[in-house]
Amino acid sequence: MRPDSVPFSTPWITADDKRAVLNALDHPWLTGGPIVRKFEQEFAEYVGTKNAVACSSCTAALHMVMAALGIGTGDEVVVPVLTFAATANTALAMGAEPVFADIDERTLNVSPRDIQEKITARTKAIVVVHYAGQPCDMKEIIEIAEDGRIPIVEDCAHSLGAEYVNRRTGSIGAAGCFSFYPTKNITTLEGGMITTNDDEITRRARLFREHGMTRTAVERQRASTWFYDVVELGYNYRLNEVQAALGMSQMKRVQEAEKRRIGAALSYNEGLSRIRGVCVPHVGPDRTHVYHLYVIKVLEEYGLSRDELFEYLSANGIGVSVHYTPLHLMSLYKHRSRGKPVVFPVAEQVYRQILSLPLFPTITKTQIEYVIEKIREGTSKAGQARV
């Protein structure tokens, strides 16, 4: 049956997920307990790192890693200009200056060439974002980082399960930061995770997560002591036991979710590649794309602008979005430029073209066909109107 609407995203919550959450509520410790630790262990094993640190969001994870790396006032952190605000804001929160790099026109990931041009003596980290679920060109970026002995932080908010030359994202740089927001490849409602092989990053991240305290409440009870010290600035960035239980349940089918997302993307590719003025996602070599987002480009020269297609699909009950407005066009960063002209030609061009279509593990073939039909219909009507 033809759908009346297609949501942009909907979380895949099963009966097993619900049972895991209810069971967690029976535990004596509802936060900071054994379920969180087990989730960390299983997640680290899946990604392929020695350590993992659960936290309240990917924003928290990025903030914790910035603190663990000792990023501070006067430092610079290179970040892609096409990303969610948290990627840059967390560097700013440490007193550092986010330095934007332009993107690759095909993959929409950060451009290694532009990273190279933005490196200075003050650069203390490079943050890469595996945009939409496709790994960045890590070979080139690693070479740049090694030349300057600069740590790479992977923003893996989109890329759980994605691989680059047979290594999962989050295991390639100094640390990986993941998101478990409801639209992501697995969810804990809100939540995040750091993955790393570096014990010092792990130690400092755990401190930062717990107000800089030397002992958590659970650890104090086990040691039969009330005493703790606060040794550095930290925050409450904990993930609770109920969220961790949901995350562990979701991890049991993470590969099935990935398979479904890729299958949906291939169906979109097949139907949309025949429509003039629509470009399907480009996937680079030696990597897997796990399609947290399915992002097309709408080429206005063929008769329809991105904004016109957005409005047409929305009017037909289809949830669509744009990821993202380049950060240098946001008011916060406009003001920080102090009126100096700042131009990122590729990101600005791509921003006028990109459109994110509905994609989630339970999307049906009928829903995908409806989206394709409405895109074909919208582009055809626009072409007729301009003849």
Q: Write the CA distances from 328 to 79, 123, 166, 238, integer angstroms.
A: 11, 19, 34, 31
CA distance 251 to 43: 8
Annotated catalytic residue: which of 124, 184, 297, 374?
Answer: 184
Apex CA 86: angle with CA 84 and CA 87, to 5°? 80
319 neighbors 251 (Cβ within 8 angstroms)? no
Task: Clarify whether 184 is annotated catalytic.
Answer: yes
CA distance 260 to 258: 5
Provide the residue type at 76 as one letter.
E
Q: Phi and psi at residue 210, in whole multiples of 5°?
A: -120, 45
296 neighbors 278 (Cβ within 8 angstroms)? yes
| Tokens 């190279």 belong to residue | 116
| Tokens 């890590």 belong to residue | 138
Q: Annotated active-site positions, please?
A: 184
